Structure 1
């Protein structure tokens, strides 16, 4: 009887403790991508992976196209509990700390997504970046990098010398500073103004997106020159969660989210590489001239970019630490002299 009583008691305790250990959770996440965008579709697959691998214990409510708050406000919404996680990118948060530039878009640093991923996971980047995120009450889960962006132009961009006096649409921030240093004439304007400015000759070209995305936007209906593969910009999107929310998950739940995100990262890079290659072949047939800059010209651009890097590295201790981490790893890869 005593043994039976002990077993009954153990079953009762397990019945109480069991649900608490495997408690279901719903994560509210916002992305700037639309549902029909290729990355938006891969995010939908990520959600399915997370929900399936967790056997329904983790549900994800994804808000596409920045439908809750503005894209730039997503990070704060996660910090303040309006959302649980942010699936936009660190580059939107340089106003909080200049160091976010070095986790959002290093500008002229790595040649491929795989090199940049390797800094994050094997070059000390994850720990260095985590300090920056944790100071904001957030946890960096991982990146997704779709690859180098292409510059589009109405005139040749065959190499470094062609930047002299080249007028183009540029986003604000570090990129504008780099291209000014190199003799170009960047003009900050809204994305929606690019087409009219190209058609009227206000600008000679534009930094918009990757080659395949630029095709979808219709840029090469107007201009017939582009850099490919690109070299100047390779933005990284992130998944970052409210630190308290993240720490409230079980270790198993955290592993599922992280593992599924690494699969997403891999597929974002591969799918865009394929899309860009297909776009390049089609553009060449249509008479668009594509320029693959030489190693010497890429090195010249990277050297010029370092002037802006060093300036941004003075803007906060965290920026200085992340810049030093990148420079060390870029040196190991042979990308810095």
Structure 2
């Protein structure tokens, strides 16, 4: 009888505070990702983690594939209360402040996603980035990084000498400055034009994405050379939440979101490490040659990248983030005097 009463009391308590509790907060979060993608599936697990760990006190209303507004408009939609959270990437917001480049993709800076996470959590990155996000009424929750991007080419690219006068598709922005500093000939074009441009010889290669993603869209059906592991670009997606909404949440719920975000970050990187290695094995077997640049060659690229950082950092926020990155890169032995 006592056991029965205790069980009943536990059930009442669970119903009041656990999974059956009515949601105290509904977070509407938009992402540019599709629900079928690797990252989209991880995002769904993240949303579920928050709902379960909060005992139903937080309800997530997700919008995949930029269903509410365009991807580049998600940040402003969260600022203005159309949605509550932006799960796209900081690099979409460089028009507001070039500092967003250095939270979205500090190109050429880090060799691995783990170094970039270390900057965020151990190198003062979160504090520096938070000032930027708070300036626009947003709270940065964290980054998640799929992995290093690879260059694809119709000709060998074993080191810096090979990219002199190399004509390749580049996205707009800081990347064109970096590769121009190295003597390459970047051509800005939409990715939809890449296959025709490569087939006709207008370009010799492209910067697209990581090895497995590029494999999935057929780039290596056309060209048989790639950098691997990549070194030139490692974009991070972010989660940022309207600051007023965030500050209205009690600390225990904030902690749940932050911890779930770290799980999302690390699991995403691990998943892509496996998938990228799988792609590398399959592509090598299919005759694609992989080029792993030496530490010295990566250092030469990093020097060119940092020179472009300084040119790109035209605001105080951007200069502060660049200084923070340089300090941390020096601390871990990737840049400057050690």
TM over 0.5: yes
Structure 1 SS opposite 2:102: helix
Match of 1:64 in 2: 64
**Cα-to-partner distance string for 1:119-141 (whole Å, 9 max, x where unaligned):** 10011111110000000000000
Match of 1:276 in 2: 276
Structure 2 SS opposite 1:69: coil
Q: Following the alignment from structure 1 to structure 2, what is the Cα–Cα distance between the partners of residues 322 and 133?
A: 12
Structure 2 SS opposite 1:61: strand
Q: Following the alignment from structure 2 to structure 1, what is the Cα–Cα distance between the partners of residues 82 and 335?
A: 42
Q: Following the alignment from structure 1 to structure 2, what is the Cα–Cα distance between the partners of residues 323 and 22?
A: 44
Match of 1:7 in 2: none
- Pairs within 5 Å for 1:152-301: 152-301=152-301
**Cα-to-partner distance string for 1:77-116 (whole Å, 9 max, x where unaligned):** 0000001000000000000001111101000001000000
Structure 2 SS opposite 1:66: coil
Match of 1:4 in 2: none
Deviation at 1:211, TM superposition (A): 0.3
Q: Following the alignment from structure 1 to structure 2, what is the Cα–Cα distance between the partners of residues 256 and 196?
A: 47
Q: Which runs of 4+ in 1 moved over 6 A?
A: none
Structure 1, unaligned runs of 5 or more: 1-17
Deviation at 1:23, TM superposition (A): 5.7
**Cα-to-partner distance string for 1:212-237 (whole Å, 9 max, x where unaligned):** 00010110001000000000000011
Match of 1:3 in 2: none
**Cα-to-partner distance string for 1:276-329 (whole Å, 9 max, x where unaligned):** 11110111110000000011110111111121111122x100001000000000
**Cα-to-partner distance string for 1:253-272 (whole Å, 9 max, x where unaligned):** 11111111100000111011
1:35 pairs with 2:32 = no
Match of 2:110 in 1: 110
Q: Following the alignment from structure 1 to structure 2, what is the Cα–Cα distance between the partners of residues 152 and 192?
A: 15
Match of 1:47 in 2: 47
Structure 2, unaligned runs of 5 or more: 1-16
Structure 2 SS opposite 1:183: coil
Q: Following the alignment from structure 1 to structure 2, what is the Cα–Cα distance between the partners of residues 201 and 310?
A: 33
Match of 2:324 in 1: 325
Match of 2:304 in 1: 304
Q: Following the alignment from structure 1 to structure 2, what is the Cα–Cα distance between the partners of residues 327 and 336?
A: 7
Q: Following the alignment from structure 2 to structure 1, what is the Cα–Cα distance between the partners of residues 259 and 34?
A: 23
The normalised TM-score by structure 2 is 0.92
Deviation at 1:146, TM superposition (A): 1.1
Query: 2:23–2:56: 8 Å Cα contact kept in structure 1?
Result: no
Q: Following the alignment from structure 1 to structure 2, what is the Cα–Cα distance between the partners of residues 147 and 109?
A: 13
Deviation at 1:202, TM superposition (A): 1.1
Across the two proteins, how many residue pairs are aligned to each other? 317
Structure 1 SS opposite 2:299: helix
Match of 1:15 in 2: none
Q: Following the alignment from structure 1 to structure 2, what is the Cα–Cα distance between the partners of residues 294 and 23?
A: 53
Match of 1:10 in 2: none
Match of 1:11 in 2: none
Q: Following the alignment from structure 2 to structure 1, what is the Cα–Cα distance between the partners of residues 323 and 239?
A: 23
Q: Following the alignment from structure 1 to structure 2, what is the Cα–Cα distance between the partners of residues 107 and 80?
A: 30
